[in-house]
Structure 1
Amino acid sequence: MSYKGSAVKRGEWLELMPGKVGQTDQDPYTAAIGWLEGTLQVPSKLLFRLKQNDEIKVAGDRIRVRLFPKRDYGFEPHWDELNVLYEDDYCLVVHKPVGLKVHPAGDGQGLTLANLVAAHYAGQGEQAAVRHIHRLDEFTSGPVLYAKNEYAQLILDESMRAKGIDRTYAAIVEGILDPSIHRIDAPIGRDRHHAKRQRVSPGGKPAVTRVIRAESFGSFSLVRLELETGRTHQIRVHMSYIGHPLVGDTLYGGSNTFTSYQALHGESLTFPHPLTGEQLVIQDPWPKQFVDLYHKLSGNPRL
């Protein structure tokens, strides 16, 4: 999908000027519906509801669609520092720091990234539901992508299912990684003997991690990895499985001598913009904790 024409948000409505659409013998409304479904790829269930609620208006070469209705945040706003990496009317990407969950656990207690995002929306006068597209472990830092309306959520969810969203991670692992290792293909399932752990298991779900670059120093390696799948704890499980647990990751065999949590950071996030299809590459620099650990283990004063 690639729409490069005029698209302006006006309150709750998106105003589009795609020019002439449809066949000459089609009435304008029918032609507009076909264009929204074909070119803009509005998902069928959303398109049906928009039609049912009279939320598509056509006037000449102008199409107006109510894509930005007001919605409850879904989480109590909490005002605190939030590092915004990218934002427009459709998407928000923010840095998740170490020790902060993306959303509440079952008990619903404690501050989460969702609360900070709700406050961010409130501070801008936006009334949008907090919708995360993917998650990170509590003690993994990096970028988290949010959709700011249902249209963007449906498009980005489909991109996620189709493996159209790429995430690159930096990890500091124990041992010197064999440079011939470029891909780890090992299914992952629950560990029946430990409620919080996952494990490589023949009966698990397919899981593939790409190793794209490595630097070794002493008895440690800096590894950059990409996920082809998104299983729980995938990088942590796979690196432990090949004998190189993450530094600090005691759950999967790593030592906590130098840090008390896994040395894992999401460096970049690449995804197609839900409206234009443009490939967006969002970088998230290493946080201070990760930089300090790298310096301590490598002895390298500069990155």
Structure 2
Amino acid sequence: MNIHGQWLEDKISKNDAGQTIEDYLKTKWRIPKKMLHQFRMSKNVHINGEPLPWKNTLKEDDTVSLPFFETEPNEITPHNVEIEILFEDEHVLIVNKPIKIDTHPSSEHDQKTLLNAVAAYFQKTGLKTKPRHVHRLDRDTSGAILFTKHFVASSVFDQLLAERKINRTYIALVQGIIKKEEGIINEPIGRDRHHATRRRVSRTGQAAKTSYRVLKRNTVKNETLIELSLETGRTHQIRVHMSHIGHPLLGDTLYGGNRLKEQQQALHAIKLSFIHPFTHQLVSAVAPPNQQVFLPYSNLFSY
């Protein structure tokens, strides 16, 4: 696989030979129907340098040129700060988000977000596409976030997220001592009518399921270190669920947690894993905790 300007070039292997161009785009690249139609109408997929009918059969060593890296108008203002890269290939970039930075702008004047920082990295490395975040983390939550490098990857990874094929593992410090070794919180989450940004467990809310297990109990500090995984991705899900069972996150004052000196919430997305839809390899990106509150427990994070 090579990149030449806007083109990603893929040499047809023995396994891919014998497929029609259309089947190859569907199976290897998982390109959705709407995008397939756009490619077909624009005649922008080339085989050995020329657009061919999509019912043609591919042969071993044919070169397929895909317009994945077409120059896009990029309205994202670059923010030149260093980012910690956990994984990178032609299609995606996974970075370790620090606290006190938003994932993306909330207004046109907000230009110091992680998305702006990734836009600066794209500019520095010569990518003329715009970054897109597949998911997000709250401002005061740190950890692994996935960005895509081209519009096809964005569409495919959005689909993987909806299908729950991107696994996210979190660690958190919560108040109090959790007695059970592990548990599942299966409670729907909805908006709080009395607070614009707050969520709450509500019978009329959206289904939400959180699994947790205890990593360490600290009776001296009256806190418990836990690992969590989500089967759904509701806004503030971990924060709402842990508060609901009487163990709010340290620093999470919105949901009953005691304030920390660093004005943060003790929640970190420590691991992001998925089967890569294009290479079919397991990608497992581990984000070293970058919050001071987790340092006393650093020997427990052997992912």
Q: 1:220 aligns with which of 220, 223, 232?
A: 223
Counterpart in the other structure of 1:13:
7
Counterpart in the other structure of 1:243:
246
CA contact 1:173–1:246 (8 Å) conserved in 2: yes
Q: 1:261 aligns with which of 260, 264, 271?
A: 264
Counterpart in the other structure of 1:155:
156
Structure 1 residues 213 and 257: alpha-carbon distance in aligned structure 2, compared to 1, 3 A threshold: closer
State, as a whole percentage, how many aligned pairs show the same letter. 38
Unaligned runs of 5+ residues in structure 2 are 49-58
Q: How big is each residue's C-alpha offset from its partner over 1:23-58, in whole Å with a ceiling of 9 and x where there is no partner?
A: 7xxxxxxx2122212333221211211121121112
Task: Read off the aligned partner of 1:226 and give its amino acid letter.
Answer: S
Counterpart in the other structure of 2:94:
93
**How far apart, in 2, do the equivalents of 1:209 and 1:177 lie?**
15
Are residues 1:143 and 2:144 paired? yes
Q: CA deviation at 1:212?
A: 3.2
Q: CA deviation at 1:113?
A: 0.6
Q: How big is each residue's C-alpha offset from its partner over 1:88-145, in whole Å with a ceiling of 9 and x where there is no partner?
A: 1100011111010011114542511111011001111111112000000000000110
Task: Read off the aligned partner of 1:263 and give its amino acid letter.
Answer: A
5 Å matches for 1:173-192? 173-192=174-193
**How far apart, in 2, do the equivalents of 1:238 and 1:191 lie?**
14
CA contact 1:168–1:224 (8 Å) conserved in 2: yes
Structure 1 residues 13 and 301: alpha-carbon distance in aligned structure 2, compared to 1, 3 A threshold: closer
Alignment: residue pair count: 284
Q: What's the TM-score, normalizing by structure 2?
A: 0.88
Q: CA deviation at 1:84?
A: 1.2
Are residues 1:46 and 2:35 paired? yes
Helix, strand or coil: the match of 2:146? strand
Helix, strand or coil: the match of 1:50? helix
**How far apart, in 1, do the equivalents of 2:72 and 2:111 lie?**
23
Helix, strand or coil: the match of 1:182? strand
Q: CA deviation at 1:257?
A: 5.2
Counterpart in the other structure of 1:273:
276
Deviates more, 1:121-130 or 1:238-247: 121-130
Task: Read off the aligned partner of 1:81 and give its amino acid letter.
Answer: E
Taking only aligned residues, the RMSD between alpha carbons, in angstroms, comes to 1.9
CA contact 2:99–2:291 (8 Å) conserved in 1: no
CA contact 2:8–2:65 (8 Å) conserved in 1: yes
Unaligned runs of 5+ residues in structure 1 are 1-6, 24-30
Counterpart in the other structure of 2:46:
57
**How far apart, in 1, do the equivalents of 2:45 and 2:257 lie?**
55
**How far apart, in 1, do the equivalents of 2:218 and 2:181 lie?**
17
Helix, strand or coil: the match of 1:45? helix
**How far apart, in 2, do the equivalents of 1:260 and 1:57 lie?**
53
Q: What's the TM-score, normalizing by structure 1?
A: 0.88
Counterpart in the other structure of 1:202:
203
